[in-house]
């Protein structure tokens, strides 16, 4: 079972980033520029990501080195330009993006997701959090340096724990506030400074549902580029099913049987809920659970 947003065929070629001469050598007429309209990707006639040349980037644009595409036996350097504005909105209310995610080839989705996260980070970090001075792109886009105090800043990835909680053969799933009627997923939350994954899982599940869990185990991980999460998929057991819901965050929390979940995955009209989108790690976790 493949995880969405993984499997990019671009080699990040970390050694190039810190070598200004080598990096400059790659910024030639052969280099490829990922074509973006703001944070949205452009597609070519076959529905793949569209690539241009560095000449297609606005003159003043900062360029991020995504890595080297080695797939054709060649060594094509891949770049993306930092757009004027980023987007910190954690959830996508953008139907265009949902339909794009459903149709883009898996390796293209991985390239797009990674590029989106990093150019968005640049667009929202033009100033130094330490002194308020201007920052400029460094190390091929994997760093920003303050032009005033000299502080270095690094792209951000926020770990999120998302957990299937099981009891007596049933799974606890929740519907967040503002989600469409019937759409349920696994409970999730950011792992905070000072927590292990397992502690973060237990805290988040208890905060949202009042349910105490035990025996947390790791299942799988994938990136989620809205804006830049590392989704850490886990499984845990609860000792009982009594829910005390956090009504500031959640609209509903319910326990579903295996039959309920099978019906949701079959898209049956009788299914008591809609499964998460295909690209969400929650979908992967539920498939993993059904296949166990």
Nearer to its own copies, 130 or 262 (CB): 130
209 binds its own copies (CB under 8 A): no
Radius of gyration of the chain (CA): 21
Give the residue from 30, 29, 33, 40 showing the smallest Cα distance to 65.
33
> To which H or E segment does residue 40 belong?
strand 40-41
Among 223, 250, 261, 264, binds its own copies (CB under 8 A): 223
Nearer to its own copies, 224 or 273 (CB): 224
Stretch that binds its own copies, among 34-42, 49-57, 224-232, 252-260 (CB under 8 A): 224-232
How far apart are CB 184 and its own copies at their closest, in Å?
A: 22
Contact 228, 263 (CB under 8 A): no
207 binds its own copies (CB under 8 A): yes
Using alpha carbons only, give the angle 263, 264, 268 rounded to the nearest 5 degrees.
55
Contact 231, 222 (CB under 8 A): yes
Backbone angles phi, psi at 275, to 5 degrees: -70, 160
How far apart are CB 187 and its own copies at their closest, in Å?
A: 13
The first and second tokens of residue 274, run together, are 């809609």
How far apart are CB 157 and its own copies at their closest, in Å?
A: 5
Query: Could you tell me the maximum CA-CA distance found in the chain, to the nearest angstrom?
Result: 63
- Provide the β-strand partners of residue 185: 174
230 binds its own copies (CB under 8 A): yes
218 binds its own copies (CB under 8 A): yes
Tell me which DSSP letter residue 280 carries.
S
> To which H or E segment does residue 49 belong?
none
The binding track of 5-44 with respect to its own copies, each residue x by CB under 8 A or -, is xx-x---x-xx--x--------------------------
- Compute how many residues bind its own copies; rule: CB under 8 A: 60
Among 92, 94, 97, 126, binds its own copies (CB under 8 A): 126
124 binds its own copies (CB under 8 A): yes
Nearer to its own copies, 155 or 272 (CB): 155
The first and second tokens of residue 112, run together, are 């797009």
CA atoms within 13 A on the CB side of 223: 21
The binding track of 139-178 with respect to its own copies, each residue x by CB under 8 A or -, is ---x--------xxxxxxxxx-------------------
* CA 258, 240, 203, 246 torsion-angle sign: positive
Contact set with its own copies (CB under 8 A): 3, 5-6, 8, 12, 14-15, 18, 88, 110, 113-115, 117-118, 121, 124-134, 142, 151-159, 190-199, 203, 207, 218, 220-223, 225, 228, 230, 232, 246, 248
């Amino acid at each position: 079972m493949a995880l969405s947003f993984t499997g990019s065929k671009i080699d990040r070629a970390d050694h190039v980033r810190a070598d200004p001469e080598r990096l400059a050598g790659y910024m030639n007429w052969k280099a490829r520029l990922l074509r973006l309209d703001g944070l949205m990707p452009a597609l070519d006639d076959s529905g793949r990501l569209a690539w241009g040349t560095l000449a297609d980037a606005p003159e003043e644009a900062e360029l991020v080195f995504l890595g080297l595409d080695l797939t054709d036996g060649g060594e094509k350097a891949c770049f993306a330009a930092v757009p004027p504005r980023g987007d910190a909105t954690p959830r996508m209310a953008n139907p265009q993006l949902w339909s794009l995610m459903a149709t883009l080839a898996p390796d293209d989705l991985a390239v797009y997701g990674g590029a989106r996260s990093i150019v968005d980070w640049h667009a929202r970090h033009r100033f130094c959090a330490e002194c308020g001075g201007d920052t400029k792109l460094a190390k091929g886009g994997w760093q920003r340096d303050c032009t005033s105090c000299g502080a270095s800043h690094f792209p951000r990835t926020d770990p999120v724990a998302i957990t299937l909680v099981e009891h007596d053969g049933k799974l606890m799933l929740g519907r967040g506030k503002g989600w469409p009627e019937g759409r349920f997923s696994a409970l999730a939350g950011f792992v905070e400074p000072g927590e292990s994954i397992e502690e973060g899982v237990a805290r988040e599940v208890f905060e949202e549902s009042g349910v105490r869990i035990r025996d947390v185990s790791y299942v799988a991980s994938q990136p989620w580029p809205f804006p830049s999460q590392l989704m850490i998929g886990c499984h845990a057991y609860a000792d009982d099913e009594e829910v005390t819901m956090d009504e500031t965050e959640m609209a509903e929390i319910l326990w579903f049987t295996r039959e309920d979940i099978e019906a949701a995955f079959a898209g049956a009209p009788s299914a008591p809920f809609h499964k998460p989108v295909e690209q969400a790690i929650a979908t992967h976790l539920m498939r993993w659970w059904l296949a166990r």
